[in-house]
């Protein structure tokens, strides 16, 4: 990673690092009214004031920022028109005001990626034990809490993996190794499948882009990944069963693997009921294909979102509002394979593995800190 950074970039990066892992500090912040908002807004206010000259200069790509925010406001305006003052719309609107706009705004700032990851790893010294205290091993019925802890932990685990291979600071490496061992042990035994997938994806992307070169479709690495993926899909059941039985032979119990094996043995779906949620979402998309049903309109036993960001965007916004937002998401994904510095590539790997993966299976993107910062990084590159 970059060895030399100017003072302002370092300061920006440290504060942004704190903001990105704010959810992992949730147990500590719960002691403070609106603690999560406070831990985000205090650094945000400082960042904006400290960099006010940048925002007032021509260096700030204001056009892309203003156009995107106006587009989202129009989307909300339409949603308010068809849904009145539904509480879910108001909640999503305030989430965008609190998380969306500020995170996009600070994504335009000059940063030093090394210090973002170092900050997250250092914060992990406090955050990781706090998250583990939330778990009651004797209570396996609260899978929602386990899932939340799992996704919060990978926000610490993934930077630990990155600094292990790309940071030269020995102290940071040692801290990262310790957190990695504890975090992986938790994920193996109690972690949710989505969080485990996020870590696997991170390692895979680090291997694919370790030389910081664009990945060619017909390269050996691409073909190997495709072959591995196809093999895993075709032989998923025996692979899962083999891994689970071998862990059992060594007296290691994995909650997520146990759920998958039980589902396979019972002939039920591995999606934990998401198939039914997706079916409801797809039906709703067909009913309002062009304009969508509006923000916060999804109403299901699972909550106010379809547990998949692409289905949520299309359900709420239809083709008119959904396609432009999906286009920005795809541009953000494609940035990973563009000609960028290794630091930027590592940052995108982190935001995809720890942020986007969660939104593919759970969570509401309107309140996702990592998602909006990631979107902002792509908007910054769009010239209008």
pLDDT in tens, 38-92: 778 888 889 999 999 999 887 888 899 999 999 999 999 999 998 767 888 898 9
CB contact set of 260 (below 8 Å; sequence gap of 6+): 193, 240, 244, 270
Identify which of 160, 126, 116 has the alpha carbon closest to the alpha carbon of residue 16.
116
One DSSP character per residue, 283-342 reads HHHHHTTTT-S-TT---BTTBSS-SSHHHHHHHHHHHHHHHHHHHHHHHHHHGGGSS--H
Backbone phi, psi, residue 112, to 5°: -125, 105
139-151 pLDDT per residue, tens: 555 566 778 888 9
- Round to whole Å and give the CA distance between 378 and 384: 13
CB 69 within 8 A of CB 93: no
286 vs 306: CA distance, rounded Å = 15
pLDDT value at 17 more than 90 = yes
How is the chain split into domains, by residue range? 7-214+271-381
- Spatial CB neighbours of 144, under 8 Å, sequence gap ≥ 6: none
DSSP, collapsed to helix, strand or coil, labels residue 99 as helix
Region class of 363: left (phi > 0), else alpha (psi between -120 and 50), else beta: left
Q: How many residues does the chain have?
A: 384
Taking each continuous run of H as one helix and of E as one strand, the counts in the chain are 19, 0
Residue 304: predicted pLDDT: 67
pLDDT (tens digit, 9 = 90+) per residue, 114-140? 999 999 999 999 988 888 887 765 555
- Closest by CA position to 187, among listed 158, 208, 225: 158
pLDDT digits over 297-354, tens only? 887 545 667 889 999 999 999 999 999 999 999 988 888 878 788 899 999 999 999 9
What pLDDT digit, counting tens, does each position of 86-104 carry? 888 898 999 999 899 999 9
Contact 106, 352 (CB under 8 A): no
pTM: 0.89
The rounded mean pLDDT for the chain is 84
Written in H, E and C, the secondary structure of 244-282 is HHHHHHCCCCCHHHHHHHHHHHHCCCCCCCHHHHHHHHH
71: CB partners within 8 A, 6+ apart: 321, 324
Residue of 60, 172, 77 whose CA lies nearest to 115: 172
Q: How confident is the model at residue 29 (pLDDT cuts 50, 70, 90)?
A: low
| CA dist., res. 25 & res. 130, Å (int) | 7
Burial class (CB in 10 A: 0-12, 13-18, 19+), 17: buried
pLDDT at 172: 95
Highest mean pLDDT among 28-32, 145-149, 235-239, 299-303: 145-149
369-381 vs 342-351: helix crossing angle, rounded to 10: 140
Distance CA 124, CA 120 (A): 6
Q: Do residues 236 and 193 lie in contact, with contact meaning Cβ atoms separated by under 8 Å?
A: no
Q: Which residue, among 138, 181, 131, has the nearest Cα to 153 in the 3D structure?
A: 131
Residues 6+ apart with CB under 8 A from 262: none
DSSP letters spanning 158-198: HHHHHHHHH---HHHHHHHHHHHHHHHHHHHHT--HHHHHH
Please answer whether residues 26 and 36 qualify as being in contact, where contact means their C-beta atoms are separated by less than 8 angstroms. Answer: yes
């Amino acid at each position: 990673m970059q060895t030399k950074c100017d003072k302002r970039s370092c300061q920006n990066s440290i504060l942004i690092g704190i903001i990105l892992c704010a959810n992992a500090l949730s147990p500590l912040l719960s002691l403070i009214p609106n603690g999560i908002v406070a831990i985000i807004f205090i650094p945000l206010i400082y960042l904006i004031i400290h960099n006010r000259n940048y925002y007032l200069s021509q260096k700030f790509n204001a056009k892309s920022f203003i156009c995107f925010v106006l587009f989202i406001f129009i989307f909300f305006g339409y949603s308010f028109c068809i849904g009145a003052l539904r509480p879910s719309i108001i909640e999503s609107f305030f989430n965008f005001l609190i998380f969306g706009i500020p995170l996009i705004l600070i994504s335009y700032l000059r940063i030093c990626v090394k210090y973002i990851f170092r900050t997250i790893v250092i914060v992990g010294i406090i955050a990781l034990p706090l998250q583990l205290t939330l778990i009651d091993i004797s209570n396996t019925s609260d899978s929602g809490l386990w899932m939340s802890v799992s996704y919060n932990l990978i926000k610490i685990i993934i930077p630990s993996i990155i600094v292990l291979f790309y940071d030269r600071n020995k102290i940071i490496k040692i801290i990262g190794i310790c957190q990695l061992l504890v975090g992986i042990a938790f994920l193996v035994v109690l972690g949710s499948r989505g969080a485990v997938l996020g870590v696997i994806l991170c390692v895979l992307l680090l291997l694919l882009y370790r030389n910081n070169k664009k990945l060619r479709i017909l390269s050996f690495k691409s073909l190997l990944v495709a072959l591995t993926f196809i093999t895993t899909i075709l032989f998923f059941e025996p692979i899962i069963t083999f891994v689970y039985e071998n862990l059992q032979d060594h007296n290691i119990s994995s909650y997520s693997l146990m759920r998958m094996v039980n589902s396979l043995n019972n002939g039920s779906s591995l999606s934990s009921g998401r198939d039914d949620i997706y079916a409801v979402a797809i039906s709703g998309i067909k009913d309002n294909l062009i304009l969508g049903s509006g923000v916060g309109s999804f109403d299901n036993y699972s909550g106010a979102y379809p547990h998949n960001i692409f289905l949520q965007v299309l359900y709420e916004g239809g083709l008119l509002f959904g396609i432009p937002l999906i286009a920005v998401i795809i541009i953000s994904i494609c940035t990973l394979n563009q000609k960028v510095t290794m630091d930027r590539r590592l940052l995108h790997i982190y935001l995809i593995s720890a942020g986007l993966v969660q939104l593919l299976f759970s969570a509401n993107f309107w309140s996702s800190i990592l998602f909006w910062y990631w979107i902002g990084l792509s908007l910054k590159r769009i010239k209008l």
